[in-house]
């Protein structure tokens, strides 16, 4: 199964693609779709959508796993993150991918073993679980962590979606 992990954000959405065969994981690719901060919101959302469609087309994912949004103290930031997350879900849905959603704590627990792990611990475990891969950036590391969590937990979560 080819899993596309996504860590939504308006400024930068991390993506990571793995292949999962039972307990074996293989790295296909990772990166970040960035949007220009000075651009109008609608243009940023369009750029995010186009970038994700390109990633989905290039890697032929069979399923998408998306990290759930947490609520910020700043309502404006939360709203923008929610809009970016909507674009992420739309891109996956337009590609006819089943979508699984995971809470941040569950992803950390599945990858690191503890739900309160920090970003450095997640990054280190992702590189350990995908030997030989040097992950560039925390957004991509988080996206790969979501994909790995889905590989470990996801089959049962998607049974009702197909």
Marked catalytic residue, from 7, 19, 50, 62:
7
| Residue 140: strand, helix, or coil | helix
Residue 4 phi/psi, 5-degree rounding, is -100, 115
Marked catalytic residue, from 68, 101, 139, 142:
139
7 is an active site residue: yes
Helix residue spans in the chain (DSSP H)? 41-59, 75-94, 104-111, 119-129, 138-158
139 is an active site residue: yes
Buried b (16+ CB within 10 A) or exposed e, 80-96: bbebbbebbbebbeebe
58 is an active site residue: no
Count, residues in the chain:
162
Marked catalytic residue, from 50, 58, 67, 142:
67
Any residues with CB less than 8 A from the CB of 136 and at least 6 apart, and which?
30, 31
Catalytic residue numbers, as ranges: 7, 67, 139
């Amino acid at each position: 199964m080819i899993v596309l992990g996504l860590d939504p954000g308006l400024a930068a959405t991390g993506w990571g693609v793995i292949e999962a065969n039972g307990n074996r994981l293989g790295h296909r690719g990772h990166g970040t779709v960035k949007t220009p901060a000075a651009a109008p919101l609608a243009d940023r959302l369009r750029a995010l959508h186009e970038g994700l469609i390109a990633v989905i087309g290039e890697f032929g994912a069979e399923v998408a796993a998306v990290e759930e949004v947490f609520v910020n103290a700043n309502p404006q930031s939360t709203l923008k993150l929610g809009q970016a997350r909507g674009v992420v879900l739309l891109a996956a849905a337009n590609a006819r991918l089943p979508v699984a959603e995971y809470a941040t704590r569950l992803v950390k627990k599945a990858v690191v073993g503890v739900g309160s792990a920090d970003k450095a611990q997640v990054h280190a475990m992702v590189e350990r679980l995908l030997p030989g891969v040097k992950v560039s950036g925390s957004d991509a590391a988080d996206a790969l962590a979501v994909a790995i969590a889905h590989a470990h937990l996801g089959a049962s979560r998607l049974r009702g979606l197909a």
